[in-house]
Amino acid sequence: MNMLSLGPKPSPISEFLNQRGYSVIEYNDLIDTLFLKKQDIDFAISYRYRHIIRPEIITYLDGKIINLHISCLPWNKGSDPNLWSFLEDTPKGVTIHYVDSGIDTGDIIVQKQVVFDEEKETLSSTYDILNNEIVQLLKDNWKFIIRGEGPRIKQKGTGTVHNSRDKEPYQYLLAEKGWDTPVMNIKGLALPKRD
């Protein structure tokens, strides 16, 4: 079976898939159906992929394309989910979902909430933890995902969605330490002020 791993190289999921006998192509550029046909792709996994997956790709793969997202959907769809989970103090976690035509709006296959020691963690350390969690979640659930037995749980509520420009007003918070900023220093700072 030919797997397409969409996202930065090297992907931490490729070794896992190779060990199970799959042929894996890692790709981080835009794709089209011609690419999928030429590579004879059977299944695709999007993980940290920065491009919008077009509807014709979704139709072509017909339910055989999933996304690994480091947020507790429907919270923090789109860019920088880890950052926004602290800025807006929303649930933290990881989600594997089917890809649909929206941005991180597809039906959930499996999800896990993650609790951090916010007194000790930074944006960088929480990002690393979430990425380890999402890879492990894929490994733990791979057998039923690849067999097409994953549930289709509709996302409840509207949650939040962000693009990369949304963080510009908060960049000053990261000026001194960047991604090593303690999460307690930014917790809830994007929430509306209350009287």
Active site positions, annotated: 69
17, two tokens: 């898939």
Q: C-alpha 139: how far from its chain's center?
A: 15
For residue 70, give every residue at least 6 positions away whose Cβ sits within 8 Å of its Cβ, in sequence order, or none.
81, 82, 94, 127, 130, 131, 133, 134
* Cα distance between residue 181 and residue 195, in whole Å: 28
Q: Are 102 and 144 in contact (CB under 8 A)?
A: no
Q: Are 20 and 40 in contact (CB under 8 A)?
A: no
